[in-house]
Amino acid sequence: MALETIEIQEKLTETFGENVFRFTQERDIFSFEVASDKITAVILFLKNDPTLRFHFLTDLCGIHYPDNEENRQFALVYHMHNWYENKRIKIKAFINGTNPEIKSISNIFLCANWMERETYDFFGINFIGHPQLKRILNMDEMISFPMRKEFPMEDSGRTDKDDRYFGRTTINS
């Protein structure tokens, strides 16, 4: 029997209650939010449940929302895939903007190691328990995080680009 979206939602809600919420279906990807302190438990559940079998972490990335309230200024997005049923899910966990950190899942999925390092490198998000959290693409000496919205996109002398079209507003610049 094919794995249905409603079954995934029911199992998550039954196990995690109000810590999983905002369930949506976007094309063929089932999406939801999770309380950031429950991310490792939810990821483990999705991977190990014999019915759900989300054994593949497709991607992990960060997003900066500087105009959000303080406790929702960064989001971590996890994409997982169940190859048996060809089901994809997207999990979003929001974290604090002042001290952005979340538990590492590199002990659950080895591929998360480099994904978390890249997210740290570009957003400055600390992954608690990561075995080697350091820059992976930028120079070690770099003190800023280039994917944060406060990082200037272009030379300030340029007049052919308007930062408003790239998510940079007067509020967060």
Name the residue range of residue 120's domain. Answer: 18-151
Question: With pLDDT > 90 as the criterion, what percentage of the chain qualifies?
Answer: 75
Whether 170 is covered by a domain: the verdict is: no
Whether 157 is covered by a domain: the verdict is: no
Which CATH number characterizes residue 90's domain? Answer: 3.30.460.80
Average pLDDT of the residues in 22-29: 94
Whether 163 is covered by a domain: the verdict is: no
Whether 1 is covered by a domain: the verdict is: no
Question: Residue 112 — very low, low, confident or very high, per pLDDT cuts 50/70/90?
Answer: very high
pTM reported for the whole predicted model: 0.87
pLDDT at 153 over 80: no
In 38-111, where does DSSP find H-type helix? 39-48
Tally the domains of the chain.
Answer: 1
- Name residue, tokens 């903007």: 97
Whether 165 is covered by a domain: the verdict is: no
Whether 118 is covered by a domain: the verdict is: yes
Strands 56-64 and 74-82, how do they pair? antiparallel
How deeply is 60 buried, as exposed, middle or buried, from its count of CB atoms within 10 A (0-12, 13-18, 19+)? Answer: buried
In 4-146, where does DSSP find H-type helix? 5-16, 39-48, 112-123
Question: Residue 173 — very low, low, confident or very high, per pLDDT cuts 50/70/90?
Answer: very low
pLDDT at 41 over 90: yes
pLDDT in tens, 80-96: 999 999 999 999 999 99
Whether 25 is covered by a domain: the verdict is: yes
